[in-house]
Amino acid sequence: MSLARPSRFVDQDRLWRRHEELARFGATARGGVNRQALSPEDAAARLQLVDWARPLGLTAKSDAVGNLFLVLKGRDAALSPVLSGSHIDSQPTGGRFDGAYGVLAALEAVEALLAAGLRPRRSIEVVAWMNEEGSRYAPGMMGSAAFAGARSLADILAVRDADGVSVEAALACMPSFPPVDLPRPVHAYVEAHIEQGPVLEREGFPVGIVTGIQGKRTYRVTVTGEEAHAGTAPRGERRDALFAAMDIVSALRRLTDDPEGLVRFTVGAFTVRPNAPSVVPSSVVFSIDLRHYDAGILASLGDRVETVCETNAGVCHVAVEELSRADPKSFPVSMRDRIRAAAGALGIPHRDLPSAAGHDAGYLHLACETGMIFVPCRDGVSHREDEWAEPAALADGARVLTETLAGLADCAP
């Protein structure tokens, strides 16, 4: 590759500026981003991506679940495309890099390939998957799940947000582009992302080659008691949904308390009704997010969730729904070797590491040869407004991505 390497056309300043500009859509007062899936902010951010892509000759398309594709046509229309991207929706108090980086790095890679005078044999598509975060519509990774055929379109369209707005209704508010099939064949997928953990920063590696993704099971638990007056109802006669929910969560904390600290058990959403100071709560709905690298441990803990809830609900009623289940995944060695070789050729220090967070790449892994490139983020922090990554690290990741895509799409002058 030497002098002909397209990655030398990766422009660190342009890539950084685009992060800043994309962060305007849903910007929070404290420097973060609140860009919910299929919101007006999401729509505006999509139009911004298309604005950047059009002068490069890319064509915007979208499929029935609202994934956005920016297509660089390949020389051979009969071949399935290479995809690269991530998502542009965020957590309610999210940052500028989680998701956005993967989309902007893929766009930067395509721009570098074109600047190097290369044309791919396979089409390269920059993709922004619909609703990765799952905070407006649970569970997340809707777009990539539908693309990989892991979840039906009809199921996804019927999901409603807290205000009762369905995915179908929200999709109708998004800018429309020429349609493309869902699902459809794909040759390979590479996703760049901030690590969301402390390893690369702590050990000084600008790039990580992701070996696989932690497995994850999610649940919604509904505890139902009975409203009562805070002044009159004696404790023994109450059916207090909040106290029952707390007893259940305590038992789940004991269940998941491993000495190694490898189990990830989170109750992130917890909503009490009627939520009035002088009324004994009648219901609590809470989320469970359970993750582990080991498929056996994840299966065994996850299978006990419902029983633990039921045996600790006391005088209240409890209902447990499993919302999603993703077993731990290993990306193919062939792809990891390809990314490692690209980093090595560029002289960029790198190490292998697993992903603790879930990613759209987990679903694409079901559909094609898939890999991920990590870059460090400050203090390993993400899903927070002060999430941060260094411009140089973002550019290094984009360079490795550029070389990887050049090979996968068989680029030539």
Other C-beta atoms closer than 10 Å to the C-beta of 55 total: 8
Does residue 182 belong to the site contacting its own copies (CB under 8 A)? no
Per the CB < 8 A criterion, the answer to whether 89 and 137 are in contact is no
Distance of CA 109 to the CA centre of its chain: 20
The count of residues interacting with its own copies (CB under 8 A) is 65
Q: Which residue, 112 or 389, is less far from its own copies as judged by CB?
A: 389
Q: How many CA atoms does the CB half-sphere of 56 hold within 13 Å?
A: 29
Q: Considering only residues 264, 317, 325, 351, which one is a binding residue for its own copies as defined by CB under 8 A?
A: 264
Q: What radius of gyration do the chain's Cα atoms show?
A: 23
DSSP E strand stretches across 57-206 = 59-62, 68-72, 82-87, 119-120, 124-129, 188-194
- 185 and 78 in contact (C-beta within 8 Å)? no
Torsion, Cα 357 359 361 366, to 10 degrees, reads: 90
Task: Kindly identify the residues of this chain, within the stretch 121-140, that bind its own copies according to CB under 8 A.
Answer: 133-135, 138-140
Of 59-67, 113-121, 182-190, 271-279, which segment contacts its own copies by CB under 8 A?
Answer: 271-279
3 secondary structure, DSSP code: G
* Binder among 261, 296, 347, 413 for its own copies (CB under 8 A): 261
Distance of alpha carbon 101 from alpha carbon 114, whole angstroms: 20
265 makes contact with its own copies (CB under 8 A): yes
Residue 214 touches its own copies, criterion: CB under 8 A: yes
What is the x/- site pattern for its own copies, positions 217-246, by CB under 8 A? -x--------xxxxxxxxxx---x-xx--x
Strand segments, DSSP code E, in 99-214 are 119-120, 124-129, 188-194, 207-213
Asked whether position 263 contacts its own copies by CB under 8 A, the answer is yes
Whether 87 has a binding-site annotation, put simply, is yes
Are 128 and 117 in contact, with CB atoms under 8 Å apart?
no
Q: Please, which of residues 323-382 interact with its own copies by CB under 8 A?
A: 355-358, 380-382
Q: Are 72 and 123 in contact (CB under 8 A)?
A: yes
Question: Which lies closer to its own copies via its Cβ, residue 7 or residue 91?
Answer: 91
Compare residues 231 and 296 and give the one whose CB is closer to its own copies: 231
What residues have CB less than 8 Å from 303, skipping those under 6 apart? none
Alpha carbon distance 328, 338 (integer Å):
22
Q: Of these, 4, 276, 295, 392, which contacts its own copies (CB under 8 A)?
A: 276
Among 115, 269, 319, 341, contact with its own copies (rule: CB under 8 A): 269
Q: Contacts with its own copies in 143-172 (CB under 8 A)?
A: none
Smaller CB distance to its own copies: residue 62 or 283? 283
Per CB under 8 A, the segment of 68-76, 153-161, 279-287, 332-340 that binds its own copies is: 279-287
Q: Is 365 annotated as a binding residue?
A: no
Query: How many other β-carbons are positioned within 10 Å of the β-carbon of residue 293?
Result: 18
Query: Of residues 27, 180, 272, 315, which one binds its own copies by CB under 8 A?
Result: 272
Residues that bind its own copies (CB under 8 A): 91-93, 133-135, 138-140, 196-197, 214, 216, 218, 227-236, 240, 242-243, 246, 249-250, 253, 257, 261-272, 274-282, 287, 289, 291, 355-358, 380-384
Which residues participate in the annotated binding site for Zn(2+)? Answer: 87, 98, 133, 193, 383
